[in-house]
Amino acid sequence: MSPILLILALSACAFPLSAGTGGPAVFIFGDSTVDVGTNNYIKSVFKVNHAPYGIDFPGKTATGRYSNGYNTADAVVKKFGLMNSPLPFLAIANKSSLLVGGVNFASGGSGLLDSTGASSGVVPLSKQIQQFTVVRNNLNDLLGAAKADNLVKKSFVFLSVGSNDIFQKFFLTHNVTSQDYITQLISAYEDHLQVLYALGARKFAISSVPQLGCIPVVRAGNAAGACSDELNNGAQCFYSAIGPMLQNLKSKLTQMQYALANTYKMSAVFSNPSSGLAELKNACCGGGKFNGQQLCLPNAAVCLNRDKYLYWDQYHPTQAAAAIAANTLYSGTTEFVTPINFKQLFEAPL
């Protein structure tokens, strides 16, 4: 891998772990659901570094998160008592002690396949893992091989990816439920996990994909505003195939531990009145039907009661929805997270 220019971009929201804390590191991989600014540093059309994104983030800062505030990556690590997600890989100086606390590699628009989002210049999961290899080598230099091995072994590896692979296939061919395509995605996922395991990772928190057929941009494209059964079936097929793959992988990688979230089924959590969410169809920012026909453009008008909305823009959840999801991931029953939840995974001995 060619040398990568890393830009030092420290802030008051920097990840609070350091070399002296001994706390587990967090490494985050995936797409826009967990991207905290990677796309700000690359030539990609997928950028949200403008208002009103970040309107509810400290300082009303548009950080590159696809949210009105914090996103799912932030909400999950907050459950562990941390401030927010680690900084993006492309925003941390080479060999910085901040690497010890963890790194976020996620890139909005990316997927399991290198072809997903390729024309948009995003960082696919394979390249995110290459970046992790750079971090892994830097940790060896910083801590020594034995301590670096121990840190990575105990680290919490969170992956949220797959939605864009299904979306791209849907918009190109409308054939997202074909067995061949699902098999291709699961095979790629398995390969990626094996590479991460070979690099020392042992604890994998995996979020599947949500009800893709019901997001505002999809509803807006249907005459009656209905969900797309095809996209929803694709999401369900994807989840159904991940479980057996993980079980088989664990039988071969004996130290592997994992928690698999049924993100699709979590729609029931959002629709429960106790969630506090009242608007489940319309986006808070956008335009047209369901606010799903237009992007959330710079300085666009937004809804006032954002904590009541499930969707922030055409595709992404609000900060409030991310917090609700994180609660379920952290302490949910096997109905939503299996075989253990994120809290149990985080605390599990090795």
Lateral strand order in the sheet of 337-338: 102-104, 26-30, 156-160, 203-207, 257-261, 337-338
Nearest to 70 by CA among 81, 80, 55: 55
**Does 313 qualify as catalytic in the annotation?**
yes
Please give the structure tokens belonging to residue 246.
């993980």
**Does 316 qualify as catalytic in the annotation?**
yes
Quote the DSSP letter at residue 35: -
CB 312 within 8 A of CB 324: no
Of 141, 207, 316, 331, catalytic:
316
Task: Centre a 10 Å sphere on the Cβ of residue 100 and count the other Cβ atoms it contains.
Answer: 24
Quote the DSSP letter at residue 32: T
Amino acid at 186: I
Q: How far is CA 185 from CA 115, 174, 225, 245, 247, in A?
A: 12, 16, 29, 11, 16
Q: How far is CA 261 from CA 1, 266, 336, in A?
A: 32, 9, 6
Q: DSSP H helical segments within the chain, as ranges?
A: 72-78, 125-143, 145-154, 163-173, 179-198, 216-220, 229-252, 267-271, 319-331, 342-347
Please give the structure tokens belonging to residue 239.
């989840």
**Does 178 qualify as catalytic in the annotation?**
no
CB 111 within 8 A of CB 100: no
Of 18, 50, 313, 331, catalytic:
313
Of 31, 32, 85, 207, catalytic:
32
d(CA 275, CA 74): 19
Active site residues: 32, 313, 316
